[in-house]
Every structure is written in structure tokens, then in C-alpha cells.
Amino acid sequence: MLGKKLVTAQKRGETRALCLGLGMVACSMMMYFFIGITIVPFYTKSVWTTETVCKVLKANIKDQVPCPNNEGSADEDVFPYPCLQVWVNLTASGQEVMLYQTEDTLERNPKCSYVPGKSENSKEVKARIETIANNFKKYQTFPCYYDPGGMQTNVILSRLYPPKGLLFAFLWPTLMFTGGCLIIFLVKISQYVSVLSAWQ
């Protein structure tokens, strides 16, 4: 009687462990799919792949322009902000090109090097842009990214999804997938040993 209870408890434990392993594998596959349709296209679409050194030539704050936060957004969601334009000397080619913060900055407003996020306090936005402009004037040389193919003549300060960021995004689903497979493997080994011992 006690042996039957132990066998039943063991089978329940194996079933739960097997469900846990399968659930981990299923979750990791969904995470892989989500990363594949969101982050990977942005990473592969980016042409600014080569790092070089940029030297600031001028950093000017132009007249205020409307902030295009979202396409088709209402007028009340759009606020004016000072347009910062940073021109740098590209060390790789010696050209004078315009600097943008990220790839997204160029798509949102190609006239400005920096596009602030949605904010109701225009004073904070103005102070932040002035601080950024002063930092560019203070730190004349810094690393930047350019397009080695020449399709884009401008440069960006930082990539939205660098190679390290992409690897980090795949790290957690990989660990979950490995853990799930390991649990399933251990459960199968346990079942095999139980059947083998019972047969002997």
C-alpha cells in the first residue's frame, strides 16, 4: 500500500516537472518570436553599423519646431521645442555631416539632432536641450556610428539596438529554453531508470 502511494506521488511529481519544463520551452519560444518580430527588424534595418570618431564642428539651437511624437497625433499632443543641430567632422571620410541621437531621431525629425519625448513642461525640455548642446561643445570628440555603404551620409550617436543589446535580449529566452529542456531530460531519465529497475 505504501509502495503504491510512493509510486503515485512520484508520477505526480514527474508530471508536474514535465509540465513545468514544457511550459518553460513554450514561453521561451514565444519570447523568441516576440524578439524576432520587434527587435530583430530594427537591428537589421539599421545601416549605421561601423563605429568611428566624430569631432564637433558646431552645435546650434535653431528656432522652435513642433514635436512629432506620433504619426496622426492630435494637435494638443504636439508641443514646440528648440531644434538642436549638431554638425560633426567624420574621421573615416573627413566629411562634414549632421549628427542624430539614434536612428529613430532621423525618422521623427530629420531637421534636428535631438527630439525630446512627450513632455508638458517646455522649460525642462529647453533646459535639457541647452545642456546637451553645452556637452557637445565641451566634449568635442566622441565615438559615433556611420553607414559604410554610403546610403546615409549622416551619423548617429548611439544605436537603438547594438549587438550587445541584441545578445542580451536573446539571453533570457535561451536560459529558459535550456532550463526547460534540462528538466524534461531529467524527468525522462528518471522515468527510464524507474522502468528499468521495475523490470529487473
H or E stretch covering 3: helix 2-45
Cα–Cα distance for residue pair 164/141, rounded to 1 Å: 23
Spatial CA neighbour of 155 closest among 88, 104, 61, 85: 88
With 0.95 as the threshold, say if the pTM is over it.
no
Residue with cell 562634414: 96
List the chain pLDDT tens, one digit each, 200 residues.
Answer: 544 554 565 677 778 888 899 999 999 999 999 998 988 888 888 888 888 899 999 888 887 666 554 444 444 455 678 889 999 998 767 788 999 999 888 888 888 999 887 765 778 888 888 899 888 888 889 999 998 887 888 999 998 888 888 888 899 999 999 999 999 998 888 878 777 776 76
103, 89 contact by CB (below 8 A) = no
Q: Phi, psi at residue 156, to the nearest 5°?
A: -125, 150
